[in-house]
Structure 1
Amino acid sequence: MVTSRSDLADFGYFLAIAKHRSFRVAGLELGVSASALSHALKGLEGRLGVRLLNRTNRSITLTAAGKDLRDAITQPFSAIDQAVEDLNRYRDAPTGRIRLNVVVDAATLLLSRVLPEFTDRYPDIVLDIVATDRMVDIVGDGFDAGIRHGGTVPEDMVAQRISGDIPWAVAGSPAYLDRFGEPQHPDDLQRHRCLGIRLGDDRIYRWDFEGPDGEFAVSVPSKIYVNEGRAMLGLALGGAGLMYGPEPLFAPYCARGELHTVLCEWATTGPGYYVYYSSRRQVPAGLRLLIDLIRERHPLGL
């Protein structure tokens, strides 16, 4: 059998499906619909005369033939991908696509301040950003890198710090504070309406403070739990309760008088943001350029 150009493209599709065991995730990585991948895979299996995947509604597994094919062509395709990536050194303008999984506040506080300049500098680089506070497997889900708070980055990843430490604060709207008063001590929060924070792993976050004897955490009473900072901000602005979060997130609203920070003398500082990626793959040129620009502009200090 003579390998055609369409076979080469379909081999690439097959490798992505084999890596992620998901047509949807492989399609996100490649920029191709899941249905198109399924059609291409069926065509490849038909031309080869063997089944490469076992597919059910719940899972995708490799057949023995599929495993042999994956093992045989992974290295050559990786070498081709790296050779194409290396060509960025010779281009007037780098090209490529970067998929990032980013904690929501980092998208607002960090990326929004550098991406306009990044797209001006590198108009041929496409950024695909998924902003979520839920922890994901960036390798398994087809991302080139993630951005999260220090201390939450998986230990098997290469991590680079891209911001300074971040002050955390409690804030409420003038209407809420007029109605319920201003807490003077973290213990006073037990008599307030607090917006609970549901973390990406479904745990409920305890609010951190710092006093004369060091840092301590408080479990606050909550009738409303939110898993995303921007939604919580909207509730705080509407007077639904006190909110705990990164002080830079509050700053524009405090400047306009829409929010007021409280318990400022008890405020603490948490780890900044880190970009992280697998140690088992070459860092794409576009990702390196984005990291360099963040470090150059340091929108949250460094």
Structure 2
Amino acid sequence: MDPRRFSDLITFSRVAETQSFTAAAHSLGVTQSAVSQTVKRLEAELGIRLLSRSTRSLTPTAAGEQLLATLAPNVAELNAKLADLERLREEPGGQLRVTCGKHAADTLVWPAFSKLLAAHPYIEGELSVEDRYVDIVKERFDVGIRMRDNLELDMISVPIGLSLRSVVVGAPGYLDACVAPDRPRDLARHRCIGFRNAGGILSPWTFEKDGRTETVKITSPIIVNDGDALVAAACAGMGLAYMLEDLAAPFLQDGQLVETLGNWSPRFPGYHAYYSSRRHPPPAVTLFLDLLRQEI
């Protein structure tokens, strides 16, 4: 529709509503002459009279009534939508779509996500928990949670988690039956439980000591693709497992697992929240990032 035609229809609607060119002009902030000329132009373009005028009254014609019957609900709906948008200035709303892996969801994201939705009922939230790589622009997510070294260059990233640590653990029964590894290369003589990530790749075991990094490609007679299964296999004495310390912590504390190669397992930077640099983040994203920082 021609933008001018839309404006003309709104002017006609206001005249019919107030039954006065003067009152309509006052409410629209224009002159009475401008309102009169607008209605005349609309009638001329449509080729039909929309208003019956007399010295004492101003009423819609039958054609004008038909047009108003169509205009009224649409104008009312538009006004309601505008009112909703104005309320968003005071109460954040809209949709917030977040993607992250299971470990990030359990330890960091879900507490912040649930608090946000409880505090702001106008926000519609979606949390997608999966370990695969997600292109948040292509799949229309607002925020992703990932390790810093896996982020694209055109993303804005914000650190939101404490540093992490990966550990090699095994059940006491398994380690009692063999010689515990003293350095990464010793893993070659051990049964190791492999973890296949969402990309189908068998995750390498990476170690660091005195500024020197070693990556070991282990031989895995047992392979899983779930963190809980990885812990269970290690606790069952099926071999050594390489996992985030957070996953192993409860089992290390109660003695079901024992850590090895501890001096080869320094801490590294934790999770980052990232979003597209192509647009300004909406209020819901800003609030969510603030809550994530508070969770730390």
TM-score band, normalised by shorter chain? 0.5 to 0.7
Displacement of 1:288 after TM fit?
1.4
**Conservation of the 8 A alpha-carbon contact between 1:208 and 1:215:** yes
Which amino acid counterpart does residue 205 of structure 1 have in structure 2?
A: S
**Conservation of the 8 A alpha-carbon contact between 1:232 and 1:243:** yes
Q: Tell me, what secondary structure is at the counterpart of 2:185?
A: helix
Displacement of 1:295 after TM fit?
1.1
Which residue in 1 is equivalent to 2:119? 121
Which residue in 1 is equivalent to 2:89? 89
Which residue in 1 is equivalent to 2:248? 250
The percent identity for this pair of structures is 36
From the superposition, tell whether residues 150 and 178 of structure 1 become closer, same or farther in structure 2 (CA, over 3 Å). Answer: same
Which amino acid counterpart does residue 171 of structure 2 have in structure 1?
A: S
Distance 1:183 1:97 in 2: 50
1:267-282 mapped onto 2 (5 Å cutoff)? 267-282=265-280
Match of residue 227, structure 1, among 225, 228, 251:
225
Which amino acid counterpart does residue 129 of structure 1 have in structure 2?
A: L
Displacement of 1:84 after TM fit?
6.3
Displacement of 1:294 after TM fit?
1.4
Q: Tell me, what secondary structure is at the counterpart of 2:125?
A: strand
Which residue in 2 is equivalent to 1:208? 206
Which amino acid counterpart does residue 99 of structure 2 have in structure 1?
A: N
**Conservation of the 8 A alpha-carbon contact between 1:85 and 1:284:** no
**Conservation of the 8 A alpha-carbon contact between 1:211 and 1:266:** yes
Segments of 5+ residues of structure 2 without an aligned counterpart are: 2-80
Answer with 217-226 or 230-239: which moved more.
230-239
**Conservation of the 8 A alpha-carbon contact between 1:172 and 1:243:** yes
From the superposition, tell whether residues 95 and 237 of structure 1 become closer, same or farther in structure 2 (CA, over 3 Å). Answer: farther
Distance 1:184 1:205 in 2: 21
Is 1:164 equivalent to 2:137 in the alignment?
A: no
**Conservation of the 8 A alpha-carbon contact between 2:108 and 2:295:** no
From the superposition, tell whether residues 114 and 181 of structure 1 become closer, same or farther in structure 2 (CA, over 3 Å). Answer: farther
Distance 2:100 2:264 in 1: 29
Q: Which runs of 4+ in 1 moved over 6 A?
A: 81-86
1:280-299 mapped onto 2 (5 Å cutoff)? 280-298=278-296
Give the CA RMSD over aligned residues.
2.8
From the superposition, tell whether residues 223 and 85 of structure 1 become closer, same or farther in structure 2 (CA, over 3 Å). Answer: farther
Distance 2:86 2:253 in 1: 46
Which amino acid counterpart does residue 88 of structure 2 have in structure 1?
A: N
Displacement of 1:134 after TM fit?
1.2
**Conservation of the 8 A alpha-carbon contact between 2:117 and 2:125:** no
Q: Normalising by the residue count of structure 2, what TM-score does the alignment of the two structures yield?
A: 0.64
For the pair shown, the structure with the greater C-alpha radius of gyration is 2
Distance 1:116 1:253 in 2: 27
**Conservation of the 8 A alpha-carbon contact between 1:151 and 1:271:** no
Distance 1:228 1:201 in 2: 13
Q: 1:45-97: per-residue Cα shift (whole Å, max 9, x none)? A: xxxxxxxxxxxxxxxxxxxxxxxxxxxxxxxxxxxx99967743312xx3333
Q: Tell me, what secondary structure is at the counterpart of 2:187?
A: helix
Q: 1:205-252: per-residue Cα shift (whole Å, max 9, x none)? A: 321112245222111121223334333223323333222122122212
From the superposition, tell whether residues 210 and 292 of structure 1 become closer, same or farther in structure 2 (CA, over 3 Å). Answer: same
Segments of 5+ residues of structure 1 without an aligned counterpart are: 2-80
Which residue in 2 is equivalent to 1:183? 181
**Conservation of the 8 A alpha-carbon contact between 2:162 and 2:270:** yes
